[in-house]
Amino acid sequence: MPYIDWKRLPRAVRTHLEDRLKDRSISEDDMIRLTYWVKTKPEVPDGEWCKDFGSFKLAGAGAIPKTFLLKGQPCKGEQI
């Protein structure tokens, strides 16, 4: 199973995620929770997946996180 390597994300993906952070008003506390999770180098499914952090969701495909979703937004793929 792959894991997210945030240091090697393509520039376009990184820019999109930064834009979504602003659009979704993700708080500093939320970002701290995300950071702690990322530091564990969690394995993610090869296909589409979604990680629910309570106040927001991170959706991705394989090792690439694709976007941040609002709490109530549905996501595709395996819940991790």
The pLDDT tens digits along the chain (80 residues) read 788 888 888 999 989 988 888 887 788 888 889 889 988 988 999 999 999 988 899 999 999 999 999 888 999 899 99
For residue 37, the enclosing domain spans: 6-70
Q: What is the number of structural domains in the chain?
A: 1
The reply to whether 18 falls in a domain is: yes
Q: What is the pLDDT of residue 47?
A: 94
What letter represents residue 9's amino acid? L
Residue 49 has what pLDDT? Answer: 95
Judge whether 13 lies within some domain.
yes
The count of C-alpha atoms lying within 13 angstroms of the C-alpha of 74, restricted to the half-sphere facing its C-beta, is 2
What pTM, to 2 d.p., does this model score? Answer: 0.85
